[in-house]
Amino acid sequence: MASPLQGKRIVVTGGAGFLGRAVCQRLQALGASDVLIPRRAGFDLTTETGVERLYTEMRPQIVLHLAAEVGGIGANMMNPGRYFYANMAMAMHMIEGARKYGVEKFLQTGTICAYPKFTPIPFQEENLWNGYPEETNAPYGIAKKAAMVMLDAYRIQYGLQSACVLPVNLYGPHDNFNLQTSHVIPALIRKCVEAQRTKASHIECWGNGSASREFLYVDDAADGLLRAAEVMNVPEPINLGTGKEITIRNLVEMIAKLCDFHGEIRWDITKPDGQPRRCLDTKRAQERLGWQAKVGFEDGLKRTIEWFRKQ
């Protein structure tokens, strides 16, 4: 069957980024008539004037809002004000513009950081509001969660159709490998590859390794996001993940092995671990979207490491 996105004029904010790149490739394969990517130099989405220019010049029928300012634990700790303001401002202006210019569908990409710090495992969408997020990423997570409230309010008052997905930690080729702002997998891959190449005796990792995380390959995330854009009309939060968790300690050991790094792994326990555990319940994605992850974790890591080595 033809996709409802076929023949549509679609704006993908953040379309030049890590997840956006995979989404845009799939949109073109689905037959979207125009896939438009606003770049920061011409469209500052944290401002009303920048968003107004986007809607008047690009005239989208559908908006996929992927743009975000985000980073790992260290970046979140250094930029809590900026991360709250930028993500809240972008969502607020983009959603209001969608209402004002009659957009057919607005998709909001949320975050697992919006869940309470001590959410029961596995994370279920109905528990999203049962507590305060983990402190180091709370400003970012709350800004993203507030956007969902705005979308629901606009559905009720203005009839704006929308969807909202909550991807777990993503990884894959084209990720951000900057050690100052990257998430855990690209940071570890870079550390291990460079240590292996320079024959370094050790690498350093934050925390004690006991925290757990769940990871989703970027192509799987793109498929789930577009499926939500196709079939959902209400901003009901939907987890996108694999339902499988791994401790940071085991993750480091796996990446070191795949990168052929055999040196010492040193843990800096003065640094934070972040949220204690992350593991998602993905039944809603299967029921509402007919979607589930396909790429195995070790296979995805091998693809990512191979891509990084080539760079």
pTM of the model: 0.93
Measured distance CA(168)–CA(170) in Å, rounded:
6
Six-digit token string for 135: 């402190």
Per-residue model confidence as pLDDT tens digits over 102-158? 999 999 999 999 999 999 999 999 999 999 999 998 999 999 999 999 999 999 999
34-36 and 62-65: which strand pairing?
unpaired
Q: Can 140 be counted among the known catalytic residues? A: yes
In whole angstroms, what separates CA 225 from the centre of its chain? 10
pLDDT over threshold 80, residue 72: no
What is the pLDDT, as a whole number, of residue 179?
Answer: 85
Per-residue model confidence as pLDDT tens digits over 76-101? 889 999 999 999 999 999 999 999 99
In whole angstroms, what separates CA 51 from the centre of its chain? 21
What is the pLDDT, as a whole number, of residue 75?
Answer: 83
257, 260, 263, 269: CA torsion to nearest 10: -40
- Residue ranges and CATH numbers for the domains of the chain are 9-171+218-243+281-294 (3.40.50.720)
Nearest C-alpha neighbor of 225 from the set 60, 105, 90? 105
Q: What are phi and psi of 114, to 5 degrees?
A: -75, -20
Catalytic option among 55, 83, 115, 140:
140
What would the mean pLDDT of 187-205 be, rounded to a whole number?
96
What is the pLDDT, as a whole number, of residue 47?
Answer: 97
Share of the chain above pLDDT 70, in %: 100
Measured distance CA(154)–CA(255) in Å, rounded:
44
Measured distance CA(296)–CA(276) in Å, rounded:
23
Answer whether 146's CB lies under 8 Å from 108's CB.
no
Share of the chain above pLDDT 90, in %: 90
N-to-C CA span, the chain: 38
